[in-house]
């Protein structure tokens, strides 16, 4: 694809993993996104992983202010942003220090040598300059004076020094585009759109990009350029989609399919806010996004909107889910259709707001007073967020119950190509709306699903009152009789349990029976899928069962679990699904693998653990 004529040599690669690391103000997320988008447009499969600090602009050059963006591009269908880096871009000493451990010896390291000043070295805790002391000899170090070269290219634009510095990430990107044979066109178009009203910014960024590209080309140090061929993905029209955006769009689609207006009641919280940011843009689809005064108002306004007949949703992350607990109990008790999205982050308490984790599962399943089961489903990749937001809406509306949709920071902020789905490609959603007021009462139920009928204000003849007090069967009148209460508790649980009749079976990838069943849920799918595919590919009898539906479990769960000698439940928590499986499906030879570092699994660590489990007789602990 490169239009350059002086390639020294070119080698082809299956995939390339790059991490861009710099100050949180260095524009690493933008640089990485541009590289990923350009590669996708060239037909590669991509997977990205932004990893940024919770400080918006941490002090420059500090270790805790380092922001990273990792991207894998491949000529194959891939599911993770990769374990080991092929190229680390470090914009300053702090970025080098905090990321070098993930770069294997022999791989390429690209740094801005201008940033390795005595002051920055000291901030990062270096006593000598690693660019000079030989400590980086194991790597293919390319130290380029990016800041000064960028300034030189922009000198006659009349910008101040600080503004010129802002373009240095584009110099870096220009270099990387040359190394990997990417076209600059997409990024230049991006500047033209994004800075339409600031021609000087378009010019500065374009010049920096081209200067970096030419610099890399002329640099004798770069001996090889790399090509990654297009991937063989399914035919069709694609776009790059981020998880939170996919979630938002899934709800818009569900509302259309259910012929309902969409209401979002939400309070900003990392990493869920992007769903709110996306939905506020779309009132044209009759999306009503309400930024409430707190998490509790987010969920209770959602209850109010559901009562009034909207497809009502609320979005949050772990601490917000805790605040919403009582209200979710009310929605469960009154049997109102709504979706609660929990974009999980590192916990407990405020925890690690910008890092990923799967430690809210037990909260989602049990975090309410009383016997209060709700449907819990999980999305497993950025584009799968679309499917599960749609599915969560379907289950809520057709079964008259709150549904908790679990995603996490990793897939919410990650992106991948999405084979575009149009409305016609999606199934119908049929809310259980009351039709005949004659003898109607709010808690009469469908005999199969046990869902009650939905009647809302404006519907004549269905006036009724509902609330959090225990209610009499069928009529819904307040009733605290002992046997009625027990019966209602059982009915509400049975209603959720019966959802198993309306969801797909659990699928197994790889071996369908044999030595080891790998079990996961949610955002770890990419790593588990890749690891299981590799293990199965070399003849190991390893299968993967990844749960998209956690409450209720799919109907064939017991059958699947019974087909393997051992089961390893892999989670980014201390073993929450493991605990649930032990309780609901006892009697299997369970092992677990857990990681709680705020980071996703690497494929390698999973494969190592699979081997260990296959070899061991006793339970292995992480």
Measured distance CA(360)–CA(347) in Å, rounded: 8
Told to check if 263 binds other proteins by CB under 8 A, we report yes
Told to check if 438 binds other proteins by CB under 8 A, we report no
* Residue whose CB is less far from other proteins, 191 or 462: 462
Candidates 418, 371, 426, 365; CA nearest to 393 is: 426
Say if CB 45 and CB 73 are below 8 A apart.
Answer: yes
Measured distance CA(464)–CA(334) in Å, rounded: 12
Candidates 384, 383, 377; CA nearest to 402 is: 377
Helix (H), strand (E), coil (C) string for 514-540: EEEEEEEEHHHHHHHHHHHHHHHHCCC
Q: Binding to other proteins (CB under 8 A): which residues in 177-206?
A: 186
Q: How far is the CB of 321 from other proteins (least distance, A)?
A: 16
Say if CB 86 and CB 17 are below 8 A apart.
Answer: yes
Q: How far is the CB of 584 from other proteins (least distance, A)?
A: 30
* Residue whose CB is less far from other proteins, 414 or 417: 417
Measured distance CA(532)–CA(539) in Å, rounded: 11
DSSP 440: -
Of 282, 485, 498, 541, the one binding other proteins (CB under 8 A) is 282
Of 252, 376, 406, 577, the one binding other proteins (CB under 8 A) is 252
Of 57, 239, 259, 565, the one binding other proteins (CB under 8 A) is 239
| Stretch 297-316: interaction string toward other proteins, x if CB under 8 A | x--xxxxxxxxxxx-x----
Question: Count of CB atoms within 10 A of residue 390's CB?
Answer: 25
Candidates 170, 181, 217, 184; CA nearest to 75 is: 181
* Residue whose CB is less far from other proteins, 124 or 262: 262
CB burial of residue 449 (10 Å; 0-12, 13-18, 19+): middle
* Residue whose CB is less far from other proteins, 107 or 282: 282
* Residue whose CB is less far from other proteins, 256 or 588: 256
DSSP 433: B
For other proteins, which stretch binds (CB under 8 A), given 130-138, 238-246, 539-547, 595-603? 238-246
Q: How far is the CB of 414 from other proteins (least distance, A)?
A: 17
Of 1, 296, 596, 622, the one binding other proteins (CB under 8 A) is 296
How wide is the angle at C-alpha 444 spanned by C-alphas 442 and 446, nearest 5°?
125
Q: How far is the CB of 222 from other proteins (least distance, A)?
A: 28
* Residue whose CB is less far from other proteins, 138 or 308: 308
Would you state the structure tokens that stand for residue 48, as one six-digit string?
């990205």
Measured distance CA(168)–CA(163) in Å, rounded: 10
Q: Binding to other proteins (CB under 8 A): which residues in 406-425?
A: 420-423
Q: How far is the CB of 291 from other proteins (least distance, A)?
A: 11
Of 37, 165, 274, 342, the one binding other proteins (CB under 8 A) is 37
Measured distance CA(136)–CA(140) in Å, rounded: 8
Residue positions counted in the chain? 622
Query: Which residue carries 């996490």 as its tokens?
Result: 408
Q: What torsion, rounded to 10 degrees, do the Cα atoms 24, 408, 415, 111 define?
A: 30
**Three-state secondary-structure class, residue 287:** strand
Of 107, 229, 288, 555, the one binding other proteins (CB under 8 A) is 288
DSSP 513: S
Told to check if 40 binds other proteins by CB under 8 A, we report yes
* Residue whose CB is less far from other proteins, 449 or 484: 484
| Stretch 458-497: interaction string toward other proteins, x if CB under 8 A | xxxxxxxxxxxx-------xx-------------------
Told to check if 35 binds other proteins by CB under 8 A, we report no
Of 234, 483, 538, 583, the one binding other proteins (CB under 8 A) is 234
Told to check if 427 binds other proteins by CB under 8 A, we report no
Helix (H), strand (E), coil (C) string for 357-390: CCCCHHHHHHCCCCCCCCEEEECCCCCHHHHHHH
* Residue whose CB is less far from other proteins, 152 or 420: 420
Q: Binding to other proteins (CB under 8 A): which residues in 344-403?
A: none
| Through-space distance between the first and last CA atoms of the chain, rounded to whole angstroms | 45
Q: How far is the CB of 382 from other proteins (least distance, A)?
A: 14
- Which spans of this chain sit near other proteins (rule: CB under 8 A)? 37, 40-41, 43, 186, 230, 233-240, 249, 252-253, 256, 261, 263, 265, 282-286, 288, 290, 292-294, 296-297, 300-310, 312, 326-327, 329-330, 334, 420-423, 456-469, 477-478
């Amino acid at each position: 694809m490169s239009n350059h004529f002086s390639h020294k040599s070119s080698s082809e690669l299956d995939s390339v993993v790059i991490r861009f690391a710099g100050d949180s103000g260095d524009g690493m997320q933008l640089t990485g996104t541009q590289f990923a988008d350009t590669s996708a447009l060239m037909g590669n499969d991509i997977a990205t992983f932004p990893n940024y600090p919770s400080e918006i602009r941490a002090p420059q050059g500090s270790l805790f202010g380092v922001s990273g963006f990792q991207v894998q591009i491949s000529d194959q269908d891939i599911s993770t942003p990769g374990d080991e880096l092929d190229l680390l871009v470090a914009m300053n000493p702090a970025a080098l220090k905090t990321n070098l451990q993930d770069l294997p010896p022999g791989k390429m390291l690209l740094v801005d040598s201008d940033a390795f000043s005595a002051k920055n070295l000291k901030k990062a805790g270096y006593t000598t300059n690693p660019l000079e002391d030989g400590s980086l000899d194991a790597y293919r170090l390319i130290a380029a004076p990016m800041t000064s070269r960028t300034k030189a290219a922009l000198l006659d634009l009349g910008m101040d020094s600080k503004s010129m510095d802002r373009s240095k990430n584009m110099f870096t990107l220009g270099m990387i585009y040359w190394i990997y044979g990417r076209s600059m066109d997409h990024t230049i178009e991006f500047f033209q759109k994004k800075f339409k009203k600031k021609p000087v910014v378009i010019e500065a960024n374009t010049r920096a990009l081209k200067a970096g590209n030419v610099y890399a080309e002329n640099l004798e140090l770069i001996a090889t350029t790399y090509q990654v061929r297009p991937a063989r993905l399914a035919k069709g029209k694609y776009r790059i989609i981020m998880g939170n955006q996919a979630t938002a769009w899934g709800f818009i689609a569900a509302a259309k399919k259910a012929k309902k207006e969409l209401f979002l009641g939400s309070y900003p919280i990392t990493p869920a806010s992007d769903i709110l940011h996306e939905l506020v843009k779309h009132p044209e689809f009759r999306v009503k996004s309400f930024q409430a005064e707190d998490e509790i108002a987010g969920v209770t306004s959602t209850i109010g909107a559901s009562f009034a007949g909207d497809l009502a949703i609320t979005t949050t992350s772990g601490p917000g889910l805790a605040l919403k607990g009582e209200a979710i109990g009310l929605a469960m008790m009154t049997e109102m259709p709504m979706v609660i999205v929990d974009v999980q982050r590192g916990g407990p308490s405020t925890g690690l707001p910008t890092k990923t984790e799967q430690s809210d599962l037990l909260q989602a399943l049990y975090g309410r007073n009383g016997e209060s089961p709700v449907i819990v489903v999980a999305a497993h990749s950025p584009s799968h967020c679309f499917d599960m937001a749609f599915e969560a809406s379907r289950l809520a509306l057709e079964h008259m119950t709150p549904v908790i949709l679990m995603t996490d920071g990793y897939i919410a902020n990650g992106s991948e190509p999405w084979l575009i789905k149009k409305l016609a490609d999606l199934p119908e959603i049929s809310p259980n709306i009351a039709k005949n007021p004659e003898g109607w009462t709010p808690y009469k139920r469908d005999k199969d699903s046990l869902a009650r009928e939905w009647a809302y204000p404006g519907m004549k003849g269905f006036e009724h009152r509902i609330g959090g007090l225990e209610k009499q069967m069928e009529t819904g009148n307040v009733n605290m009789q002992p046997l009625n209460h027990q019966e209602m508790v059982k009915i509400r649980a049975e209603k959720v349990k019966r959802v198993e009749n309306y969801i797909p079976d659990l699928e197994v990838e790889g071996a369908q029976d044999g030595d080891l069943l790998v079990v996961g849920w949610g955002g770890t799918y990419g790593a588990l899928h890749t690891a299981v595919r590799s293990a199965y590919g070399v003849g190991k009898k390893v299968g993967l069962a990844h749960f998209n539906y956690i409450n209720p479990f799919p109907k064939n769960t017991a059958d699947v679990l019974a087909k393997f000698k051992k089961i390893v439940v892999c989670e980014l928590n201390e073993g929450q699904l493991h605990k649930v499986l032990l309780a609901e499906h006892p009697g299997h030879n369970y092992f677990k693998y857990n990681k709680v570092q705020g980071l996703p699994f690497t494929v390698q660590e999973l494969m190592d653990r699979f081997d260990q489990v296959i070899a061991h007789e006793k339970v292995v602990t992480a």
